[in-house]
Chain A
Amino acid sequence: MSPPQRGRGGGGGGGRGRGLAKGGGGSAVRGRGSESGGGIKGGNKVLVAPHRHAGVFIAKSKGDALVTKNLVPGEIIYDEKRIFVQNEDRSTVEYRIWNPHRSKLAAAINIGVDNIWINPGLKVLYLGASSGYTVSHVSDIVGHEGCVYAVEHSHICGSDLVNMTEKRTNVIPIIEDARHPAKYRMLVGMVDIILCDINQPDQATIIALNASYFLKPGAHFMITINANSIDSKLSAETVYQKEVEKLQMEELRPTEILPLDNCEGDHACVFGGYRLPRKQNS
């Protein structure tokens, strides 16, 4: 097992560093919390450990924060805090803090979803990219080998998205209505996962249509349901149930339904698979 790496500001805690490398599995890296965020005050010793999900990390200090490794070191999207960690070979690794209040995917990870199905190197179709906040973190996770197709219809958010993608070459901006995947068929190849955050009443149909165009068989999807956007008269659970039924009709089989309690309002996250092979009854 490789010795745990010492980050800047971690020089004093020699003995403490040795016994680590649990929790996330693999070596933990001591870092310097340069800017405060998520309970991490500047100058504190911060420990960055890999999360159970590949490509995601946890920064442990007074409070825990979810971080991803910055694909474009030095660039931040709005004003999120960064954590700098120094490796043994004196190179600095930069992590950006992922705010679960801003990003539903982060909220889902914090609550403890089984599998987010996003791994480094995958191709992701993100419907409802907005200004690109969550997209940037997904792009950090998939890395340079992967690709994120970010679809956003609004022009205002679209300009922010395009600005963000100018720095990140693994994100493809698409300023189109997700209801018409035919309009961006020449830009998108087959993808390994669809993330859908569009808050439209017909979102089940939208994701189904996009899946039929672009989602590989046996691949997965994630959809966030805002109960009030679908139908404000019904109770949240009823809405979730109805959406799940709609999805099931379109060959999108949900495997996990996660109510997002740490978000405002009635939100839920549904993870599932597309055209999953029929389970053999042994």
Chain B
Amino acid sequence: MIILVETPAGFALFKVKDEGKLANIEDLAKEFETPDSARKIVKLKAFDKFDNTSEALEAVVKLHEGTPSKGLRKFLKANCEGETLAVADSKLGNVIKEKLKIDCVHNNAVMELLRGVRSQFTELLSGLGDQDMAPMRLGLSHSLARYKLKFSSDKVDTMIIQAIGLLDDLDKELNTYAMRVREWYGWHFPELAKIISDNILYAKSVKLMGNRINAAKLDFSEILSEEIEADLKEAAVISMGTEVSDLDLLHIRELCDQVLSLSEYRAQLYDYLKSRMNTVAPNLTALVGELVGARLISHGGSLLNLSKQPGSTVQILGAEKALFRALKTKHATPKYGLIYHASVVGQAAPKHKGKISRSLAAKAALAIRFDALGDGQDNTMGLENRAKLEARLRNLEGKDLGRLSGSAKGKPKIEVYDKDKKKGSGGLITPAKTYNAAADSLLGQTPAKSEDGEESSKKKDKKKKKKVEEEEEAEKEEPSKKKKKKKVEEEEEAEKEEPSKKKKKKKAEAETEVVEVAKEEKKNKKKRKHEEEETTETPAKKKDKKEKKKKNKD
């Protein structure tokens, strides 16, 4: 009788030497207690090794289905002529009997025998120790597990995370090396750095010419445009750099080679990242693009983690510092994080960026879940959603156009009253606070102004929009306000009221502001210092609009 034993390393056939012992099942176990006595019962007849893990996986999967694989069939045919075969699985036994006409047995005795063989396996299979078996066992088990879980190595998001990390690293390295080339070669030919601004072209030129003397003879037309080439050749003649030896040039050239090969590799890596993104997360890629998608996945840690986040989180991923700062200080939170760089958000006008970013984040969250947990491999869902988003953008812009052409003055913005919410820029970007020299000189100021000598160049804590315009520079001279694209020129006397002012889209006339504040539709919901208004009212009335501009520029 022959017994078939399946192992992670391959199939083993043992010949049972003494079939009489099989009759006594209980004592059979004792026979296998020592390797020597085990060898008396069974002997290794043949061993069919698996060539690699994939072959092993195939064979095992077939066994699960209950059929012998080709390799097994050949093996059995070659070795089992005229013998009964003891198998562990009766179904398999039946199939073998049918296909290969080999009689199969499966009973308690067989089970006991298998136990025994398994316990003395390493001894009976000389040449295959536990150490060798362990990695094969591990490999087979992992392949089998993955097969069961329908794991596809294409859909691993770890590649994406590593690739984007490498891309950033490469950019940094490339920049560092390129700067180094410039510095180093600048010792020999300083003018070149100003002539050629692009790093790659610089490296190519340096590589081509080596010593600047050669510049006149060589042809740079493949690398540079004609005018730059002309500049280069001119500068090469009159350069004030020092001479360098050939050995130095050799090293500089090596460095240039490095720069060029790195930049080539970076391009390849980018292509790789694009293709991976399209495989791993096609819908997300369709919505936000490869780079933004990859950054989102990298930020979230894995596609699965990212899929657990709600749309609002996807919206501000990447702006956590601003978010928590704003939450702590009760200011308005940021409107976009990494998603700002998506092309849909880029296309939108500044005042629609917030809305589009929110809609995009919502659709992106759906796309991420679809990619992470769904079965589909295509990006139809992503494309549909993108079309919806673009339609929404057009809608938003259309509404705006209608409004612009319609009325002269739009309705002012009404905000929900929140007594604790602080106005002004606090959480977001604040421009650098510079010392306001104009603030401390009282000479040259009008009487009205001088009343409020405590002209505050206090930079009050206000919120600024991300598009900080130049007016903000002017506004810095006065305490700054939270403004959209409107110029608000205020006099110092009105500055005290500034904490109470909110974002406005109108031109406020500073001197008359005090008065007009009440008259115009400015909505100040905070307490105003009315007393001050009245005192400065009269002098304020005297001022000219032109004058205020001059004063503000003080």
Contacts and interface: CB of A to CB of B under 8 A. Distances in A.
A185 interface: yes
Interface of B: 6-8, 29, 60, 63-64, 88-89, 111, 114-115, 118-119, 121, 133-134, 137-138, 140-142, 144-146, 148-149, 151
Contact of A186 (B7, B142, B148): B7
16 contacts: A147-B134, A158-B148, A162-B151, A166-B142, A169-B138, A185-B88, A186-B7, A187-B8, A187-B137, A187-B141, A189-B118, A189-B121, A190-B119, A212-B111, A212-B115, A213-B111
A158 B145 contact: yes
Contacts of A187: 8, 137, 140-141, 144
A186 B7 CA distance: 5
Contact of A190 (B8, B118, B148, B151): B118
Contacts of B29: 217, 275
| Range class of the A interface residue count | 20 to 34
Contacts of B145: 158, 161-162, 173-175
Contacts of B114: 185, 213
Given A174-B145, A186-B8, A275-B29, 13 more contacts: A155-B148, A158-B145, A162-B142, A162-B151, A165-B142, A172-B137, A175-B148, A175-B149, A182-B89, A183-B64, A189-B118, A212-B111, A214-B115
Contacts of A186: 6-8, 60, 63, 140
Contacts of B89: 182
A279 B133 CA distance: 37
Contacts of B146: 162
A175 B144 contact: yes
Q: Which 5 A-B pairs have the closest CB atoms?
A: A186-B6, A175-B148, A190-B119, A172-B141, A173-B145
Interface in A18-49: none
Nearest to B9: A186
A159 interface: yes
Contacts of B149: 155, 158-159, 162, 175
B69 to A, nearest CB: 12
Given A173-B141, A187-B137, A187-B144, A216 B119 contact: yes
Nearest to A187: B141
Nearest to A174: B141
B138 A172 contact: yes
A173 B145 CA distance: 7
Contacts of B7: 186
B386 to A, nearest CB: 31
Interface in A141-195: 147, 155, 158-159, 161-162, 165-166, 169, 172-176, 182-183, 185-187, 189-190
Contacts of B138: 169, 172
Contacts of A174: 141, 144-145
A255 to B, nearest CB: 21
Contacts of A162: 142, 145-146, 149, 151
A169 B137 CA distance: 11
